[in-house]
Structure 1
Amino acid sequence: MQKYADYIKTIEIDALWSGKKHIVWDLDPKVNVLSGINGVGKSTILNKVVRSVGVNGDIVNHLLKGVHLTTAPEDATHIRFDLIRSLDSNLSQTFSESEGFIHQALSVLAGVGGGSLLDLQLYQLQRKYLDYQVNIGNRIIEALQRGDSHMAQQLSEPKKRFQDMVDELFAETGKKMVRKENEIRFTQIGETLLPYQLSSGEKQMLVILLTVLVEDHQPYVLFMDEPEVSLHIEWQKRLIELIVELNPNVQIILTTHSPAVIMSGWLDKVTEVSDITV
C-alpha cells in the first residue's frame, strides 16, 4: 500500500565526486536553499536526489547507489514531487523526434509558435490544469449540493489567487489572463495570446506557479534548479513567497546563485554545499 511522505527530513549521498565526498543535509520542512560557487556540485546533488526517486514517486533508494532519503513519516513509501529547471533551449535539439510524446508535442507546439523546453512544460501543464479544474469543479458541485457554500468558496479560491498573481506579475506589460476559458490564454491590448507567445521569464514564472497550483494543496516536494535565470529581479524576490502562498504544504528544495531569491526573509534557509560536505 502506498504511503506518501509529507516532506524529506534528510538527504545523504555517499561517494559523491568519485568517492571523495559525503553529503549529509538536514532539511527544513518548508524551504531549503542550496548555495555555493559554480562547479561546487549544487545541481549534481539535486539531480542525484531526483534520480533516486522513481517516476511514480516511489522512494527507491537502493536503485541509485549512495543516495538515502529519510522522510516524515519515516515509513512512507512514496513522495509527490516536481522538478523545475530554467532551461529554454530548442526541443528539436534536445530530443529525438522518434520519441512518441515529444514528436506529438513538437507538432502541436510548432503550430502555435512554441518549441522550447519551457513550451513543452507548458504543454504538459495545460493538460494537468484542465484535469485540476474538472476535479475542483466536481468538488464544488458536491459542496453546493450539501448546502456548504463556504466550502465551495474555499475550493475556488486557489485558482482565483493563481490568476490574480499572474495578472499582478504581468501587469507592467498589460497582459491579463482570460478567465472565461478553461485553457490558459492572455489578452494584451485587445489581442489574444497563447502561453507559448510569452517571454522566457513569463513562461518560467507561469510554469512554476502552474506546477504548484495543480498539486491541489497536497504535501509534495518542489525541486528547482536555478529557477531565477530568466526571472526579473523583483520576481526573484517574490518567488518563494508566491509558491508557499499557493500551497502551504509544499517543501521547496532549490539551488540558486541569486541573492534576490532569499532577500525577502529566507536567509536563514540557505545552506552552503561546504556546510553539508564531509
Structure 2
Amino acid sequence: MQKYADYIRQIEIDSLWSGRKHVIWNLDRRVNILSGVNGVGKSTIINKVVKGLSAGGEFPSHLLKGVHLKVCPEDAKWIRFDIIRSFDNPMVNQELLSKVGISLVTELDWQLYVLQRKYLDYQVNIGNRIIAALQSGEPDAAERAQKLSEPKKKFQDLVDDLFADTGKTIVRTANEICLTQIGETLQPYQLSSGEKQMLVILLTVLIEDQKPYVLFMDEPEVSLHVDWQQRLIDIILELNPNVQIILSTHAPAVIMNGWMDNVTEVSDITMD
C-alpha cells in the first residue's frame, strides 16, 4: 500500500544554478512563504521540487539529482501535491483545443476546464460516501452525511462572499461551476483574470478532499485584488485544514493576516 507523507519537513537542493548554491529550507507544518527580490531564485526552488516529483507524487526515485526531501512520517514514499501558477498567458495550442471542441483563450481557462472535470468526479465521490453513510444504519449516520457535505457548501459560501462586490453568486443547483449576475448565467471563462485565479485556487483546494496535501504556489497574487491577497492563506486553510502551503510571493498583503513569522528570505536558506 502506498504510504503518503503528511507534509515536507525539509527541502535541500545542492545543485541550484549549476551547483553554485546550496539550499536547506526547514519547513513549517502549515504555511511557508518564500520571499526575495526578482531573480534571487524563489520560483527556481519551488519549480525544482515540483519538477522532481512524479505525477503521482512518488519520491525519492523520481526526484531530480541534487534535490532531497525530508517528510513526515519519515518512511513515506509518496506526496499528494498540487501546483498553482498565476500567469494568465494566451493558450499556445489553439488548434489542438479546437479539434476537441473547446473554445478557450488563456491558460487559466484551460486550468478551469480541467478542474471542472475533477469537480464533477469530486461530487460523485462525495455523493456516494453520503449515501453509504445514510445507509449504514449507524446512530450518527445523518451527522456523518452532513459533515461530508460541509466542504462543498463552504466552497460555495466563499465564492459568494468573495464575488459579492460584483453581484455574482454561484449556481448551487448546477453540477458544473457557473455563476449568475443580475439574472445572467456566466461560465467561469467569462470572469476576470483575478476571479478566474481565485476560482482555480478554491477548486484545487476543494477537490483535495481535506487530505494531507502540499500546495505549491508561485506568486499566486499576480491577478488578485489586494483584499483577496490578504485573505488567501486563511481561505485555503479553511477549505483544507490538512494542507501544507509552500508559496513564493512579492506581495506584502499575503502575509498581513498574521503570517509574518512564516516568511523565509531566499538569502537565509542559501549558501555557497
CA distance in structure 2 between the aligned counterparts of 1:252 and 1:57, rounded to whole angstroms: 16
Aligned 8 A contact 2:89 2:107 in 1? yes
**CA-to-partner distance for each residue in 1:157-198, whole Å, 9 max, x for gaps?**
100000000000000111000000111110001100000000
* Structure 2 counterpart of 1:23, one-letter code: V
Aligned 8 A contact 2:53 2:62 in 1? no
Following superposition, which runs of at least 4 residues in structure 1 exceed 2 angstroms of deviation? Answer: 60-63, 103-109
CA distance in structure 2 between the aligned counterparts of 1:262 and 1:197, rounded to whole angstroms: 30
Aligned 8 A contact 1:105 1:123 in 2? no
Map 1:1-278 → 2, pairs under 5 A: 1-60=1-60, 63-92=63-92, 95=93, 97=95, 103-104=96-97, 107-110=100-103, 114-147=104-137, 148-278=141-271
Aligned 8 A contact 1:54 1:60 in 2? no
* Structure 2 counterpart of 1:143, one-letter code: A
* Structure 2 counterpart of 1:182, one-letter code: N
* Structure 2 counterpart of 1:188, one-letter code: Q
Bigger share in helix = 1
CA distance in structure 1 between the aligned counterparts of 2:252 and 2:18, rounded to whole angstroms: 31
CA distance in structure 2 between the aligned counterparts of 1:157 and 1:251, rounded to whole angstroms: 21
Compared CA separation, residues 106 and 247, structure 1 to 2 (3 A): farther
Q: What is the percent sequence identity of the aligned residues?
A: 69
Compared CA separation, residues 32 and 192, structure 1 to 2 (3 A): same
Aligned 8 A contact 2:15 2:67 in 1? no
What RMSD in Å do the two structures reach over aligned CA positions? Answer: 1.4
Compared CA separation, residues 32 and 125, structure 1 to 2 (3 A): same
CA distance in structure 2 between the aligned counterparts of 1:104 and 1:201, rounded to whole angstroms: 23
Compared CA separation, residues 107 and 240, structure 1 to 2 (3 A): same
Aligned 8 A contact 2:5 2:76 in 1? yes
* Structure 1 counterpart of 2:109, one-letter code: D
Aligned 8 A contact 1:158 1:213 in 2? yes
Helix, strand or coil at the partner of 1:131: helix
* Structure 1 counterpart of 2:48, one-letter code: K
Instruction: For residue 55 of structure 1, report the CA deviation from its aligned partner.
Output: 1.1
* Structure 2 counterpart of 1:227, one-letter code: P
CA distance in structure 1 between the aligned counterparts of 2:99 and 2:160, rounded to whole angstroms: 28
Helix, strand or coil at the partner of 1:18: coil
CA distance in structure 1 between the aligned counterparts of 2:242 and 2:58, rounded to whole angstroms: 19
CA distance in structure 2 between the aligned counterparts of 1:62 and 1:178, rounded to whole angstroms: 41
Q: Which runs of 5 or more residues in structure 2 are unaligned?
A: none
Helix, strand or coil at the partner of 2:38: coil
CA distance in structure 2 between the aligned counterparts of 1:225 and 1:6, rounded to whole angstroms: 21
